[in-house]
Structure 1
Amino acid sequence: MTRWLKPILYLLLSVFLTRLIPFSSFFRNLDTMVHEFSHAVMALVLSGDVQRVELHADHSGVTYFRLASSWSHLPIALAGYIGASLFALLLFRLQASGKQKLGLILMSGIAALLLILYVHSGFGVYWLIGFLALNILALCLKKQEWLRNGYYGLLAFLTLEESAMGPVTLVLNSLDNSRSAGDAYSLQEITGLPALLWSIVFLLVALACVSRSLQLFAGSPSRPSARRSKGSGIWSRQRMDI
């Protein structure tokens, strides 16, 4: 129990503190972007046809795709929340290695791919353009490396928080009305297992990634060291009201 309590307390403190930062809500859509990108990539891996992706101002998103096999929906449904948690962990691993610039390039690459291929209307277009512009600006800060690394750290923490709070919302929605549990409800429809069970699986994966990310952060350098179903489907990310 102690193993889980410390990262949970750190996560709650981080959620409280980062919500005091102006414009932090804008950057929380990064987790939504990665979530929907994970759905899209898995659909493509399974030879599906990704039709479009939507990103919304309330931090929700939707991926529209078409597959030949109904059971192919299972890994796609799993990919969203798990992919977002693993991506947050990757950001902290890159930070621990002093590779913040590579992390910014990776985030920018995902944003550019979505903008070019799948996000062509609505809020998502403006958000992706704004996010890309800020990242390019950060990448150009050669003499102000501390500022670029601080910007990267903010993105990493906000992504980590959102990747964990999303499953928390799923658990609460599953207890109230499983139909509002997004991907967890989709997994219930596919497997017959309750949405609450899938929500807990997502939450445990997220907490494991939070725990490891915080361990990496505690030992990471602030800068690089001199050495050292037939038919169509829709997967969506629910709005998080916590």
Structure 2
Amino acid sequence: MDISSLDDVWHRVTGVQPDPPRNLVLAVGAAALLTVLWRPVWRIARNTVTIAHEGGHAAVALLCGRRLSGVRLHHDTSGVTVSYGKPRGLGMVLTVMAGYITPSLVGLGGAWLLAAKHITLLLWASVLLLALLLISIRNFYGGLTVVLTGGAVFAASWTDNTDVQAGFAYLMVWFLLLAGVKPVLELGRTRARTGARDSDADQLHRLTGFPAGGWLFVFALVALGCAVAGGRWLLHV
């Protein structure tokens, strides 16, 4: 690839793209909502939320100076991120807290990029983040899930059909914004039913003394706030 080709790719990635038709934005938003609400599809799509959840744990652990051992994603859409460092303190609190709020925050960041008409940049940034996460994956299913997700995003980013590219980008962001709320509600139901004393909220309770229910409220507040703010950006309200 010569310099001119690299320059073309750079301008393609960092340049702005036209806003898609409003009907397309509304249609993929409805599709994302259906994906979240329809249980058979949600069971598959939830893997994407797990990728963001565990990726959040991993990224914040590294930013806080912890040593990342690895990330595992499982068939039941659960996951685990193992890091080493001080067992208490701000770094540990931020690492544990990151999981449930990361899908919503990533969705909010994506909505901001789409509002700024950086559709291709959003898709390529997503591919880069998935590639970085892949380095830390320690099981076959997790690696396969990340590779398939990254491949789908890359394919969408490389197409010359602007409506297909925009539709995929908006669908991805709508899904993260809407799906970020559901795992918090699921965790609340699980805690009410079985206790789930090893959940992120309960770990945060042991680390800070703040009630697990309070942490659930924080997770829900962030998720709902991101969904509202991100939705306004996507709809140009």
Which residue of structure 1 lines up, in the alignment, with residue 21 of structure 2?
none
Give the whole-Å Cα distance in 1 for the aligned partners of 2:109 and 2:224.
Answer: 14
Give the whole-Å Cα distance in 1 for the aligned partners of 2:167 and 2:42.
Answer: 13
Which residue of structure 2 lines up, in the alignment, with residue 234 of structure 1?
none
**Deviation, structure 1 residue 51:** 0.4
Which residue of structure 1 lines up, in the alignment, with residue 140 of structure 2?
122
**Deviation, structure 1 residue 204:** 0.7
Amino acid of the structure 2 residue aligned with 1:84: P
Partner residue of 2:156 out of 138, 142, 152: 138
Contact 2:73–2:139 under 8 Å retained in 1: no
Q: Does 1:113 align with 2:132?
A: yes
**Deviation, structure 1 residue 170:** 2.2
Give the whole-Å Cα distance in 2 for the aligned partners of 1:203 and 1:18.
Answer: 16
Amino acid of the structure 1 residue aligned with 2:143: V
Give the alignment's TM-score, normalised by structure 1: 0.77
Cα RMSD after superposing both structures: 2.5
Give the whole-Å Cα distance in 1 for the aligned partners of 2:32 and 2:197.
Answer: 27
Partner residue of 2:207 out of 178, 183, 190: 190
User: Where is the helix percentage greater, Structure 1 or Structure 2?
Assistant: 2
Which residue of structure 2 lines up, in the alignment, with residue 99 of structure 1?
118
Q: Does 1:42 align with 2:92?
A: no
Contact 1:81–1:163 under 8 Å retained in 2: yes
* Contiguous gaps of at least 5 residues in structure 2: 1-28
Give the whole-Å Cα distance in 2 for the aligned partners of 1:26 and 1:175.
Answer: 25
Contact 2:50–2:79 under 8 Å retained in 1: yes
Equivalent residue pairs, number: 208
Give the whole-Å Cα distance in 2 for the aligned partners of 1:90 and 1:60.
Answer: 24
Question: 1 or 2 for the larger relative contact order (CA 8 Å, sep ≥6)?
Answer: 1
Give the alignment's TM-score, normalised by structure 2: 0.78
Partner residue of 2:190 out of 169, 173, 195: 173
1:119–1:96: structure 2 CA closer, same or farther, 3 Å change rule?
A: same
Q: Residue by residue, what CA displacement relative to the aligned partner does 1:95-115 show, whole Å, maximum 9, x if unpaired? A: 112112111111111110111
Which residue of structure 1 lines up, in the alignment, with residue 171 of structure 2?
154
Which residue of structure 2 lines up, in the alignment, with residue 31 of structure 1?
49
Give the whole-Å Cα distance in 1 for the aligned partners of 2:210 and 2:66.
Answer: 25
